[in-house]
């Protein structure tokens, strides 16, 4: 039996999902959670094989709940089942360790097949999510091949775009959304720029960018 835990803040959707999946003879629904904190606690209690989890939930988001569940070092695999198809959500889910990313308009038989695939260590992503991942990968390889030198400092195309965004006053989250990277990736990039140039804050990055005609 494949033990499944459902996490979604919409009661009707949870009930419908439980009804559909319980008809599959190889599935056992061990619990149902309405928020991020609850799903983490239920995961500790029931140790499910699969968690079907929405991105946007109260108290703790699906992304943070995914991180917490993975930190438990169990064999539980998490599939994000959501309406959100933005690059930020998909990128964060991948980086933190989701084993699947599906959208809620999926057909019941395809969802059942996807759960079985993930259970058997086959990562499953909806086509729209897969396309975004491929686009991010292409952008990364193209922009990281470019090299720009300013005195003793060398940057790639991603660094240059980040510095331009910082000069415009954008936050890491806003930069990530624009460049199709996670907020964490942008934060790490900014820290690397600061360390490379011996600068101490974003204001100095802005001054550097202006002085060197990066913007």
Q: What distance separates the 2 farthest-apart alpha carbons in the chain?
A: 67
Could you tell me the two tokens for 53?
């989890």
Could you read off the pLDDT of 56-67 as tens digits, one per residue? 999 999 989 998
Whole-number mean pLDDT of the chain? 88
What are the residues facing 53 on neighbouring strands?
Answer: 7, 80
Tokens 């968690």 sit on residue: 51
pLDDT in tens, 69-113: 988 888 999 999 988 767 777 877 887 889 999 999 899 999 999
DSSP state of 167: H
What percentage of the chain carries pLDDT values higher than 70? 92
pTM exceeding the 0.75 threshold for the entire prediction:
no
Share above pLDDT 90 across residues of the chain, in percent, rounded to a whole number: 55
Query: Which of the pair, 142 or 104, is modelled with greater confidence?
Result: 104
Q: Which residue has the higher pLDDT, 85 or 159?
A: 159
Question: From CA 6, how far away is CA 54, in angstroms rounded?
Answer: 9
């Amino acid at each position: 039996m494949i033990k499944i835990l459902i996490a979604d803040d919409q009661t009707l959707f949870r009930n419908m999902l439980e009804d559909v999946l319980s008809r599959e003879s190889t599935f056992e629904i061990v619990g149902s959670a309405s928020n991020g904190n609850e799903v983490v606690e239920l995961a500790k209690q029931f140790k499910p094989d699969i968690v079907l989890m929405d991105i946007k939930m109260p108290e703790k988001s699906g992304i943070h709940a995914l991180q917490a569940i993975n930190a438990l070092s169990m064999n539980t695999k998490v599939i994000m089942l959501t309406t959100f198809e933005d690059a930020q959500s998909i990128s964060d889910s991948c980086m933190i360790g989701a084993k699947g990313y599906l959208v809620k308009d999926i057909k019941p038989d395809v969802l059942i097949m996807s759960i079985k695939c993930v259970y058997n260590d086959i990562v499953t992503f909806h086509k729209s999510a897969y396309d975004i991942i491929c686009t991010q990968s292409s952008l990364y390889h193209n922009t990281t091949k470019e090299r720009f030198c300013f005195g003793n400092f060398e940057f790639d195309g991603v660094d240059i775009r980040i510095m331009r965004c910082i000069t415009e006053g954008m936050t890491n989250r806003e930069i990530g959304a624009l460049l199709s990277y996670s907020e964490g990736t942008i934060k790490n990039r900014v820290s690397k720029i600061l360390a490379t140039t011996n600068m101490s804050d974003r204001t100095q990055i802005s001054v550097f960018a202006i002085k060197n005609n990066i913007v």
